[in-house]
């Protein structure tokens, strides 16, 4: 059987070592990505009580902003207490008690890594990871001669992958 020789053996070596290095990172991203799919449920979460010290006498219209919570639901107010769906705020003391559902700390950290924004110190790692994946993708195209059957089949599979993701994005 005639195996086509690679165009440049260095690409195969780069591809192999970058792929090996990224295998662990990809496993972590896969786990955190799967957990993030269920972020709108209580899957793997447990109930935690949080107490937040705020200024006294905050109006109920401003409470969500002060607590950094989107749209408080079922808000009711008495002279001393503002109650909402998952907690309350004491207007006299400024103490807010909130019940939240939290992931275990390891999963919380993993999902934070997965969702890092430009303001987080972790975003440099995400850029590095994305660039490394691009190196892995591009180096795979230089592992075989362009006229070989393996290379041509690889292009077909690449086109199929792009088509599937575009279908899922636009038809889903």
Structure-token pair, residue 158? 């690449």
Residues 135-157 have a mean pLDDT of: 87
Query: How big, in percent rounded to 5, are the helix, strand and coil portions of the chain?
Result: 50, 15, 35
For 83-111, the pLDDT digits (tens) are: 998 999 999 999 999 999 999 999 999 99
User: Is residue 102 within 8 Å of 45, Cβ to Cβ?
Assistant: yes
Give the bridge partners for 53, in sequence order: 95
Q: Report the run of H or E that residue 96 belongs to, with start and end.
A: strand 95-102
- Give Cβ neighbours of residue 66 (< 8 Å, ≥ 6 apart): 54, 55, 58
pTM over 0.75: no
């Amino acid at each position: 059987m005639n195996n086509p020789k690679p165009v440049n053996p260095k690409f195969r070596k780069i591809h192999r070592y970058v792929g090996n290095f990224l295998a662990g990172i990809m496993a972590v991203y896969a786990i955190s990505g799967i957990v993030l799919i269920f972020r709108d449920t209580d899957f793997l979460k447990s109930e935690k009580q949080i107490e937040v010290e705020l200024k006294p006498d905050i109006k109920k219209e401003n409470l969500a902003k002060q607590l950094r919570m989107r749209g408080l639901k079922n808000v009711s107010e008495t002279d001393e207490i503002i109650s909402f769906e998952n907690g309350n705020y004491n207007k006299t003391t400024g103490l807010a008690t909130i019940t939240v559902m939290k992931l275990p700390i390891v999963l919380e950290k993993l999902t934070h890594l997965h969702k890092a924004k430009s303001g987080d110190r972790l975003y440099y790692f995400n850029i590095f990871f994305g660039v490394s994946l691009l190196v892995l993708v591009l180096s795979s195209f230089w592992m075989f001669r362009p006229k070989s059957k393996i290379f041509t089949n690889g292009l077909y599979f690449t086109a199929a992958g792009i088509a599937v993701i575009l279908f899922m994005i636009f038809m889903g």
